[in-house]
């Protein structure tokens, strides 16, 4: 069932768990996440990145999700991840009920003004907006440069000025496969959490130690983005099945991969509820 993203985030914030947000790009990547979420009774956010458009159009993703959501009992939100331009936002408001506008690489004033414009446009259409303060880098960049991190002192002004619904923070994580073990600035998350009531979002959630994920959630993180881990699980399982049975049909390879990929997803989803909340009973 498709639900309002902000309601889902506020529920997670209140009860002290985090919602997994998986990037999806084809039927299997959507369906297998939804199966795992249904089994674990966990609300789920399905994320689409604009650069995927050349591979699978938004309309196709929406059709797949609409079709499958009728079979799924947990709340589902469709989220556009990393929109960098206002036109990108405008072109996608008919497809998604939640959008991230990523102005984290901009100077504070420009980030604030552009995000405010996006929020005003989206709120008129009932769309939740995730904003970004601080640079969320890739793993090939220096993700230990604290100058790029979210400054807790700027958060109240930024949230008030933009009226954003949630805030992606930069605290040491990065996009992609980590080259070195990341050092996550947990005290910074705690500081930020004390300065604002909006749900906090962690990008670059793949390949983090379970203990670190738990500490992030305990410190105030309400949504965690996962792509690299999931992408690797899909690749490795399909590749393994192709090597086990070198002759056969691709459909059979996908079917044989499904069990292990869903098992990976279930294990990952379990990490997002360190307090052991009976989440299903909290959902309306």
As annotated, the active-site residues are 81
Which of 281, 269, 249, 262 minimizes the C-alpha distance to 44? 269
Q: What count of other Cβ atoms lies within 10 Å of the Cβ of residue 87?
A: 9
Q: Say if residue 63 is exposed, middle or buried (CB neighbours under 10 Å; 0-12, 13-18, 19+).
A: exposed
CA of 202: how far to CAs of 27, 130, 184, 259, in Å? Answer: 25, 11, 11, 28
CA 162, CA 203: separation in Å to the nearest integer?
20
Q: Are 156 and 196 contacting, i.e. CB atoms less than 8 angstroms apart?
A: yes
- Indicate the SS3 state at residue 127: coil
């Amino acid at each position: 069932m498709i639900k309002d993203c902000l309601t889902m985030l506020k529920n997670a914030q209140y009860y002290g768990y985090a919602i997994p947000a998986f990037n999806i790009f084809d039927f299997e990547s959507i369906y297998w996440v939804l199966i795992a979420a249904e089994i674990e009774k966990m609300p789920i956010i399905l994320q689409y990145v604009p650069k995927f458009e050349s591979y699978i159009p938004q309309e196709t993703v929406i059709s797949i999700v609409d079709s499958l959501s009728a079979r799924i009992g947990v709340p589902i939100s469709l989220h556009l991840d990393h929109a960098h331009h206002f036109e990108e936002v405008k072109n996608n408001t008919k497809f998604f009920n939640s959008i991230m506008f990523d102005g984290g690489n901009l100077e504070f004033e420009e980030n604030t003004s552009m995000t405010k414009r996006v929020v005003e446009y989206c709120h008129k259409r009932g769309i939740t907006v995730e904003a970004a303060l601080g640079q969320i880098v890739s793993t090939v960049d220096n993700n230990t440069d604290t100058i790029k991190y979210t400054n807790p002192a700027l958060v109240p002004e930024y949230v008030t000025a933009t009226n954003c619904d949630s805030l992606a923070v930069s605290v040491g994580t990065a996009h992609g496969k980590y080259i070195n073990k990341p050092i996550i600035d947990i005290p910074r998350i705690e500081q930020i959490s004390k300065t604002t009531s909006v749900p906090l979002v962690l990008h670059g959630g793949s390949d983090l130690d379970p203990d670190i994920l738990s500490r992030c959630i305990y410190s105030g993180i309400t949504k965690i983005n996962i792509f690299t881990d999931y992408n690797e699980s899909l690749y490795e399982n399909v590749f393994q099945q192709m090597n086990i049975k070198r002759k056969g049909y691709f459909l059979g390879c996908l079917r044989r991969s499904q069990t292990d990929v869903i098992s990976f997803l279930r294990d990952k989803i379990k990490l997002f509820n360190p307090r052991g909340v009976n989440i299903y009973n909290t959902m309306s």
